[in-house]
Structure 1
Amino acid sequence: MFAIAGGKGGCGKTTTALGLARGLATLGDSPLVVDADLDMPDLHHRAGVDHVPGVAAVATGEQPTAAAAPSSRLPGVDVLSCRESDTASAASAFERLRQCRRAVLLDCPAGASPAAAAPLRAADRTVLVSTPAEQSLQDIAKTAAMARQLDAPPALLVLVRSAGRVDPSPLFDCRRVVHVPKLPSPPLRTDESAARYLSGAKILSKRNT
């Protein structure tokens, strides 16, 4: 199970989570993307699914496959949405998702807050998402430190809106880096983004636990 984590909002976490999931589906997996951002849950909008209390349903015992909804925009990708009221049950749901026999990607809250710690604590590894800007890299360094402390060390660094001229991998002790260039909106509908996220999915598929 992978936590998709960014240092601040707007860095591309949700796009990355869905892009990697599409790549995993292309590789023959059946990925499940989970909205773990209870402060600003918007994964359902991006994925084209109804806003139903999927995380809460899993916490009360429903099977993740039954609670999830297939994305209308990304074939082969299922989505588990959440609502702001799911805070009390979220940690329990994340722990139950550890038993899921498929690739699970947790779209985490931004930063290194206590809210971000819950999905990181449940995850096996972390995908760090940042832009090449210095401030964004400084922010994600804090998230990387917290991920290691919670036993979810970085498996991949995704640099969005990146021309590939910056190599921050030594800063995070993470040699696996995918550069996603600045793309027209909506970015997930371009062949270029599909190719970049597929390369990231191939890295994760070798580490999937």
Structure 2
Amino acid sequence: MGAVRLEAITWDRLGDRLAERLLDLQPADGSPWPRVAFDGAPAARPGDLAERVSAALRIRGRPSLVVGAEGFLRPASLRLEYGRQDVEAYYNGWYDISALWREVFGPLEPGGDGRVLPDLWDPVTDRATRSPYVTLPPGGLLLLHGPFLLRHWFPFDLSVHVLLSQSALRRRTPEAEHWTLPAFERYEHETDPAGTAEVLVRADDPRHPAWNG
């Protein structure tokens, strides 16, 4: 990643600024539903930012749907086929990318019906969630959060990457999950999310974020 000028900001202000930007977001493919990525490792908590932006949009009269990639994990029998700490499986096999295309992005394509499945699989019970479909009205925004989102060619109209330095990522990742860290290093080298995303948020200090807005 090259030098990027970042501005200090509060989380509340960041949510407001992003919501204001999203009000004017127009999908390039003509879809009536803008689709936004909040990409980042679990330790970066991109879902918190997605929820904050959703609340700010609600105040502004715009509907949105927050969807977490962790709701589309594959069954444990497939995720853990090569062991509980297999980095290759974590990087390439834990998330049901086909289901995300089918249940989330497909309904939001031009001509779609807007009926999105907010989650599919509960990793705690290792059973289908059986959640009802949610109909996102035209003009409503999809806010998808999770890791590795920018490597799958999803049709995002705007992408936000919540960045942690390697030292911050290690510090804020629970020790029992340190085995996942090489996957994020690989993602950085192969995809360069900090350079690919339109919006970059640095969150090394969780109390004092900075962004390139």
Task: Give your verdict on TM over 0.5.
Answer: no
TM-score (norm: length of structure 1)? 0.43
**Higher RCO (Cα < 8 Å, 6 or more apart):** 2
Q: Which has the larger radius of gyration?
A: 2
TM-score (norm: length of structure 2)? 0.42
